C-alpha cells in the first residue's frame, strides 16, 4: 500500500471544531484507504498528541529566541 499524498489532503476546521472519526474515515476513503471507527479514533489521538508536541517545541523555540 502506498502512502497518500499528504500535501493535497486538506481539512477545513474552525477554531471550535474537532476532528471526528467520520471525518477521518472520509478523508482517508478519498485516498482509497478504508479504516474502522476504532482506527479513526486512534489516528485522532495520534494527531492531537503530535500537535501538542509540535506546539510545545514551537513555544520553547520562541522563548529561547526571545531571551
* 4-62 pLDDT tens trace: 665 555 566 665 678 999 999 999 999 999 999 999 999 999 999 999 999 999 999 88
Task: Give me the half-sphere count of Cα atoms (radius 13 Å) on the Cβ side of residue 23.
Answer: 11
**Rounded to whole angstroms, how far apart are CA atoms 61 and 6?**
26
Residue spans of the domains in the chain: they are: 36-67
Distances (CA, A) of 42 to 15, 16, 21, 24, 67: 21, 21, 9, 10, 38
Report helix, strand or coil for 41: helix
Helix 21-30 vs helix 37-66: angle between axes, to the nearest 10 degrees?
Answer: 100
- pLDDT number for residue 12: 62
Amino acid at each position: 500500500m502506498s502512502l497518500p499524498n499528504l500535501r493535497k489532503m486538506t481539512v477545513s476546521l474552525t477554531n471550535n471544531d474537532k476532528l471526528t472519526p467520520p471525518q477521518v474515515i472520509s478523508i482517508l476513503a478519498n485516498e482509497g484507504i478504508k479504516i474502522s471507527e476504532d482506527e479513526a479514533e486512534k489516528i485522532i489521538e495520534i494527531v492531537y498528541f503530535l500537535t501538542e508536541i509540535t506546539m510545545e517545541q514551537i513555544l520553547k523555540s520562541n522563548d529561547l529566541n526571545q531571551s
